[in-house]
Structure 1
Amino acid sequence: MSILVLGLILLTVFASACAQLVLKLGVADEKMQAAMQSGLVESVLAAAISPFIWLGLIIYALSVALWLWVLSKVDLSVAYPFVGLGFVVTMLFGVLLLNENVTMMRVVGTLLIVGGCVLVGRSA
C-alpha cells in the first residue's frame, strides 16, 4: 500500500471521527435536547436547522467521497479494518474535548483494535 493511500485512509477515518464529534455537539445543544424530549417531528425539525448537525453531515459526506476513492485503489479487506482506528480517535475526542470518562476495559479494547489495524496494514 502506498503512503498516499494509507494517508487518505487515515484522513477518512479522522474525518469520520470529526463528524461524530460535531454531531455529538449538535445533539448536546439545549434546543436539540428539548426538541428530542418533545417527539420525533420536533427532533427532526431541530436537527434540520442545527448548524452542528449540518456540519457533521457535510464532513461525513466528504469522508464518504474520499472513502470511495480509497476503495477504488485498495482491497476492501485491507482498507476496512482501518475504520477501527475511528474508535481510537473518537475515544480521544471524548476524553480530551468532551471530558468523558474512559475505563481501563475500554482502553484495552481500543489498543486491541489498534494492534489489529497494524497487523492488517503490514500484511498489505
Structure 2
Amino acid sequence: MTLNSFILVVISVTLSAFGQTAFKIGVERVHFAPDAAVMGKVMGFAASPHIIGGLLFYGVGTLFWLFALRTLDLSLAYPFVAISFIVVFLIGIFGLGEPFNATRLAGLLIITLGLVVMARA
C-alpha cells in the first residue's frame, strides 16, 4: 500500500467516523412527542443540522473512498475501514465523554495489530 493510498483511506474513514459522531449528537438532540408517528420521527431526524452534517461527512468520505479504490485491491482496502474503530473510540472518549476501560482498549489494540499486519501484505 502506498502512502497516498493509505492517506485516502484514512481520510475517508475519518470522515465517516465524524459522520457517525454527528449522527450520535443529532439523535440525542432531536426530541419527539411520546406518541409521535414514525414519519414524524423521520422528519425530525431529517431536519437535524447534525444529522445533515453527518450525511455530508459521509458523502465527502465516500468520494475519498472511491479514489482509494482506484489504486487498491478491495480485499486490501476494506479491512482498513476498521480504522474507524480507532477514530470513534478516541472521539467517544475525548469528544463525547464516553467511558474508557481496559477491555475496549485491548480490543482496539488487537484491531490495530491486525491493520498493521494487513498493511504489510
Provide the TM-score with structure 2 as the length reference: 0.92
Mean alpha-carbon deviation: is it higher for 36-45 or for 89-98?
A: 36-45
CA distance, structure 1, for counterparts of residue 67 and residue 60 of structure 2: 11
Determine if the alignment matches structure 1 residue 115 to structure 2 residue 102. Answer: no
- Structure with more of its chain in helix, by fraction: 1
Report the identity percentage.
35
Equivalent residue, structure 1, for 2:18:
18
Matched ranges for 1:67-86 at <5 A: 67-86=65-84
Runs of 4 or more above 2 Å deviation: 33-39
Q: Deviations over 1:31-88 (max 9, x none)?
A: x132587342121110111111101001101111211111121001111111111001
Matched ranges for 1:1-124 at <5 A: 1-29=1-29, 32-34=30-32, 38-123=36-121
CA distance, structure 1, for counterparts of residue 35 and residue 112 of structure 2: 37
Provide the TM-score with structure 1 as the length reference: 0.90
Q: In structure 2, do the counterparts of structure 1 residues 118 and 36 end up closer, same or farther at CA, with 3 Å as the change threshold?
A: farther
CA distance, structure 2, for counterparts of residue 45 and residue 36 of structure 1: 15
CA distance, structure 2, for counterparts of residue 106 and residue 118 of structure 1: 19
Aligned-partner SS, 2:120 = helix
Mean alpha-carbon deviation: is it higher for 36-45 or for 88-97?
A: 36-45
The number of aligned residues is 121
* Higher relative contact order (CA closer than 8 Å, sequence separation 6+): 2
For structure 2, list consecutive stretches of 5 or more residues without a partner in the other structure. Answer: none
Q: In structure 2, do the counterparts of structure 1 residues 47 and 3 end up closer, same or farther at CA, with 3 Å as the change threshold?
A: same
